[in-house]
Structure 1
Amino acid sequence: MGLQLAWNNEQEELSISEELISTLELLLQKAGEVEGVADGEVALTFVDDKQIHELNKEYRGIDRPTDVLSFAMNEFTDEELDIVYELEENEELTDMPDMLGDIIISVNRAQAQSEEYGHSLEREIGFLFVHGFLHLLGYDHQDKDSEAEMMGKQEAVLAEVGLTR
């Protein structure tokens, strides 16, 4: 079945091109290969600063916009696990990919950061997408070692598709 990208555009600041989506799908495949994740679905939503600010405040208690948020689906409560097991028992739903989680990217932050770092907007969105994907898989950057590991993985995947600085 493979890794699949489902995307949604909830902002009007930036036109989302088919070329950008194709690049993100390729990044998803490459990152999946590196991490040994062959199947699943990732939901990506493009938002503006106002929307991501609201989400950041509601879910993380941080009252400001951010560049990317990730919400992994593998962090289940007992009640949610019961629902998952019921779904798995239903034969008709076995063709559906496992949902890995949601990635939300602020196009305003991506635009500002691409200018600040002196690289393309496509590269910045790609970076944020791979960063979000690694968070879905449980990676974090709470200390220097884990941040270095995550940064190295991100840069390697971006380099494979030609999105270098």
Structure 2
Amino acid sequence: MIELDLMDETNSIAEETITLVRKVLQSAGEQLSVKEGSEVSVTFVSNDTIQEMNKTYRNKDVATDVISFAMEEMGEGEVEIMNADIPTLLGDIIISVERATEQAASYNHTFDRELCFLAIHGFLHLLGYDHETEEQEKEMFGLQESILQAFGLKREGHELY
């Protein structure tokens, strides 16, 4: 099991939805054989908060849907600490609740499915997946869909959970 810390700074998400996101991320961790005890935090925020983060860390002054901050990426001059007893800190996923709501309506599926999609998208970024090239995008988005479908979250909004 991976260690998940989910925080709703907007106080707007139902407890059942937060539980669903937790279960989907646990399922993804199992499907991708993520190291037992790896730690991830997920924070649900407003558009204003995510826009400020996007501006500060990515130099883009717009609200986005999800931002990931990977902890395992080695920066220049950093030394990797090797110790099997230390938990793996994968990083932080920040999700805009407002953008998730808008995108769910736009893609004609449920808010729950969109939130899970964004959580998995951020999780894959923490694991090193990207979508800079067409090949990378095909791999990452295909993996997202297979994870969601394995959990029963179909794209057409036909949830099976």
Q: Tell me which interval the TM-score lies in, with the shorter structure as reference length.
A: 0.7 to 0.9
Who is 1:43 aligned against? Answer: 41
Q: Does the aligned pair in 2 maintain the 1:4–1:25 contact within 8 Å?
A: no
TM-score, normalised relative to structure 1: 0.85
Matched, 1:147 2:147: no
Who is 1:7 aligned against? Answer: 6
CA distance in 2, matches of 1:22, 1:9: 12
Give 1:57-72 correspondences, 5 Å limit.
57-72=55-70
Q: CA RMSD in A?
A: 1.9
CA distance in 2, matches of 1:156, 1:20: 20
Who is 1:110 aligned against? Answer: 100
Give 1:65-80 correspondences, 5 Å limit.
65-77=63-75
Who is 1:131 aligned against? Answer: 121
CA distance in 2, matches of 1:7, 1:158: 19
Q: Does the aligned pair in 2 maintain the 1:67–1:110 contact within 8 Å?
A: yes
TM-score, normalised relative to structure 2: 0.87
Who is 2:159 aligned against? Answer: none
Tell me which protein shows more helix as a share of its residues.
Answer: 1
For 2:136, give the aligned amino acid.
S
Structure 1 stretches of 5 or more lacking a match?
none
SS at structure 2 position matched to 1:38: coil
SS at structure 2 position matched to 1:7: strand
Q: How many residues align?
A: 154
CA distance in 1, matches of 2:141, 2:126: 15
CA distance in 1, matches of 2:20, 2:78: 33
Q: Does the aligned pair in 1 maintain the 2:35–2:88 contact within 8 Å?
A: no
For 1:44, give the aligned amino acid.
V
Q: Does the aligned pair in 1 maintain the 2:103–2:114 contact within 8 Å?
A: yes
For 1:3, give the aligned amino acid.
I
Q: CA deviation at 1:80?
A: 5.6
- 1:54-89 CA-to-partner distances (Å, cap 9, x unmatched) read 00011011110000000000123467647x56xx59
Runs of 4+ in 1 over 4 A off after TM superposition: none
Q: CA deviation at 1:27?
A: 1.3
Percent identity, aligned pairs only? 46
Who is 2:29 aligned against? Answer: 32
- 1:100-153 CA-to-partner distances (Å, cap 9, x unmatched) read 100000000000000000000000000000000000000000111111111111
CA distance in 1, matches of 2:143, 2:33: 13
